[in-house]
Amino acid sequence: MALKTILVCLTTPDHSDTLLKVAVPLARKHGAHLIGLHTVEALVVYPGIAMHLPDSAFAAINQSQKVEAETIKGVFEKHTGHEDFVSEFRLVRTEAQSASERMIESARAADLVIMAHEDRNSDRYDQRNAQTQVIRNSGRPVIVVPLDYDGPKVGSNILLGWSETREAARAAHDMLGLADDSAALTVLRVGKTHQDTLKDSDAIDVTEMFARHGLNVTLEHRDPMGDSIAETLQSVAFEKGADLIVTGAFGHSRTYDFVLGATTYELLRDQKLPVLFSK
């Protein structure tokens, strides 16, 4: 299924240019409706807290957010103004909700969501961990783009991290919507190689499914040799010259993730390429 609605979450002026360099070529290729979403933070004063903010302080905060929003809108229009596809800039107030909740609301009507890697030096407090929340709760595939990424257009050379999980299957099929015709695809299983090929029938089946879609697909196994799954994915992606890593997200309980860590969190902490997460 082709992408027809793409949502790009433009949180700060610093990273809007980077995100749109990824989003605009995808919208152009698919003739998609591209939505640039920016949320404006609500200033909440909690009952029971004795504080007074003069009118000038409220005015300064509102003016600062207005300037930021106009700057982001300008970047969006610079990238989309001469394109043939439909583009739309949305400015949404968070009101009593968090920025991530507003992003999730908009994401549910999109075929694909594009977000920047978290940047604690630039992100507002209410934008922190938005990537995790949107991946977990929107029900939509999310591409997270590294800060200052300036690599190739995504979709022609893809690495899929495969495992016998619902999340991996979801990622595999979500990927079909953005892969180029005849794209190179490596299906990678990380772990000990099975001696009996039939024990890996699920990976063989998914590889054959991709071949029927016309992708140039290969199946590979890699022993991590002491590295984490995330490290192995990134290493193989670099080796193959991939422009996108695709993986299922948050396949374990939150308690497991908190105690032992997880591939999703590691990729979100340290990524070198755009990563498509599907939950």
Residue 66 in this model has a pLDDT that exceeds 60:
yes
Give Cα 139 to chain centroid, integer Å. Answer: 12
Q: Is 222 helix (H, G, I), strand (E, B) or coil?
A: strand
Task: Look at 89 and 269; give whichever has higher pLDDT.
Answer: 89
Residue 47: predicted pLDDT: 45
Q: Look up the domain containing 227 and give its range.
A: 157-278
- Are the CB atoms for 22 and 43 separated by under 8 Å? no
Return the pLDDT at 129.
83
**What's the confidence (pLDDT) of residue 270?**
87
Res. 258 pLDDT band, cuts 50 70 90? very low
Asked whether residue 39 is domain-assigned, the answer is yes
Shared-domain flag, residues 18 and 114: yes
- Judgement on whether residues 114 and 202 belong to the same structural domain of the protein: no
Compare 40 and 275 and report the one with higher pLDDT. 275
Residues 141, 9 share a domain: yes
From 95, 118, 145, give the residue that closes a domain.
145
pTM: 0.88
Angle at 59 between CA 126 and CA 74, to 5 degrees: 65
Q: Which residues contact 119 (CB under 8 A, 6 or more apart)?
A: 12, 14, 15, 147
CATH number of the domain bearing residue 222:
3.40.50.620
| Confidence (pLDDT) at 170 | 94
Same-domain pairing of 237 and 120: no
Same domain, 10 and 139: yes
Return the pLDDT at 226: 77
In a domain, 90, yes or no: yes
Q: Which residues of 224-255 are buried (b: 16+ CB within 10 A; e: fewer)?
A: eeeeebbbbbbebbeebebbbbbbbbbbbeee
Average pLDDT of the residues of the chain: 85
Q: How many domains would you assign to the chain?
A: 2
Q: Is 144 left (phi over 0), alpha (psi -120 to 50) or beta?
A: beta
**Per-residue confidence band for 159, with pLDDT thresholds at 50, 70 and 90:** very high
